[in-house]
Amino acid sequence: MKTVANLKSVSCSYLITISDFYLITRYQKTIKILGSYLR
């Protein structure tokens, strides 16, 4: 049972990392678009 809980927590943190990366890339794209508009 302990290993199952361990796997769950690991996969959860992995998913959070992926979503963070996705959000950061989207944020950077938005900043680039805004920058091109402001220029």
Terminal-residue alpha carbon distance, the chain = 57
Query: Measured between alpha carbons, how far is 11 from 39 in angstroms, rounded to an integer?
Result: 42
Q: Mind listing the pLDDT tens digit for each residue in 1-39?
A: 678 888 888 888 888 888 899 999 999 999 999 889 887
Query: Measured between alpha carbons, how far is 20 from 3 in angstroms, rounded to an integer?
Result: 25
pTM for this model (two decimals) = 0.50
Query: Measured between alpha carbons, how far is 31 from 17 in angstroms, rounded to an integer?
Result: 21
| pLDDT value of residue 1 | 63
